[in-house]
Chain A
Amino acid sequence: DAMVIQNPRYQVTQFGKPVTLSCSQTLNHNVMYWYQQKSSQAPKLLFHYYDKDFNNEADTPDNFQSRRPNTSFCFLDIRSPGLGDAAMYLCATSREKAYEQYFGPGTRLTVT
């Protein structure tokens, strides 16, 4: 089945230690998104790629970076995680910007 895959599902990192989360898709969608979600709050958009065009949200901290080396993969890098960065990180894709988004299962990040 075509899908959005996130690895790992659970990630534990130490305060200040860089960490990378990965997302891959078999849907061949043009757009890939990264969201941060805390508790049962609504997801908060961090940034998105339309093809290779990167779009950062104005309030996304500089500590968060992203890479999209090809259509299928997208990475979220947190350069120096703080305790406040502990959250669920969700990847989503859409065929085009005007179409529905499909989410992966998420990566639960714990910062110790």
Chain B
Amino acid sequence: GDSVTQMEGPVTLSEEAFLTINCTYTATGYPSLFWYVQYPGEGLQLLLKATKADDKGSNKGFEATYRKETTSFHLEKGSVQVSDSAVYFCALLPNAGGTSYGKLTFGQGTILTVHP
């Protein structure tokens, strides 16, 4: 079945540091890929998405590129802020029929803490 693996957390950085959170996936076909962010006590917010190979999703300084050859969708940001402290989830969504159609598969989440 489909699966998503994120790098082990938590991740602790100083403000203005470079961020990478690794995400790799296993899926049949060509799923859509997402990064969601969850701030404390809140729901998940869609951060960015990519729907086909070599697509780059970007939002609020975050970027991720859909790499079919390495089955990866790593999240990056050049300069993190304290306000980026949150839990980040990588997820995939099958784009064809089957029992998992329409169902997100999440990674385990990565807790990011940014210190001033």
Using a CB–CB distance below 8 Å, which chain A residues touch chain B?
4, 6, 31, 40-43, 45, 48, 50, 90, 92, 94, 97-98, 100-106, 108
Among A31, A40, A90, residue most surrounded by chain B Cβ atoms (within 10 Å): A40
Shortest Cβ gap from B101 to chain A (Å)? 6
Q: Number of contacts between A and B (CB, 8 Å)?
A: 54
B34 within 8 A of A: yes
B43 touches A103 (CB 8 A): yes
Shortest Cβ gap from B3 to chain A (Å)? 11
B49 touches A98 (CB 8 A): no
CB-defined contacts of B106 to chain A, threshold 8 Å = 42-43
Residue of A nearest to B86 (CB): A40
A100 touches B87 (CB 8 A): no
Instruction: Given A41-B109, A98-B32, A98-B95, check contact A31 B44 (CB 8 Å).
Output: no
B41 within 8 A of A: yes
A108 touches B109 (CB 8 A): no
A42 touches B89 (CB 8 A): yes
A50 touches B102 (CB 8 A): yes
A102 to B47, CA, bound (A): 11
CB-defined contacts of A6 to chain B, threshold 8 Å = 43
B114 within 8 A of A: no
A98 to B49, CA, bound (A): 13
Residue of B nearest to A55 (CB): B102
B109 touches A45 (CB 8 A): no
CB-defined contacts of A108 to chain B, threshold 8 Å = 41
B68 within 8 A of A: no
B46 within 8 A of A: yes
A80 to B87, CA, bound (A): 31
CB-defined contacts of B104 to chain A, threshold 8 Å = 43, 45, 101
The residues in B between 57 and 116 inclusive whose CB is less than 8 angstroms from any CB of A are: 87, 89, 93, 95, 101-104, 106-109, 111
Per a CB cutoff under 8 Å, which of A42, A48, A100 touches B32?
A100
B102 touches A103 (CB 8 A): no
Q: Which 9 A-B pairs have the closest CB atoms?
A: A97-B102, A42-B106, A103-B43, A103-B44, A106-B43, A105-B43, A98-B95, A40-B87, A104-B43
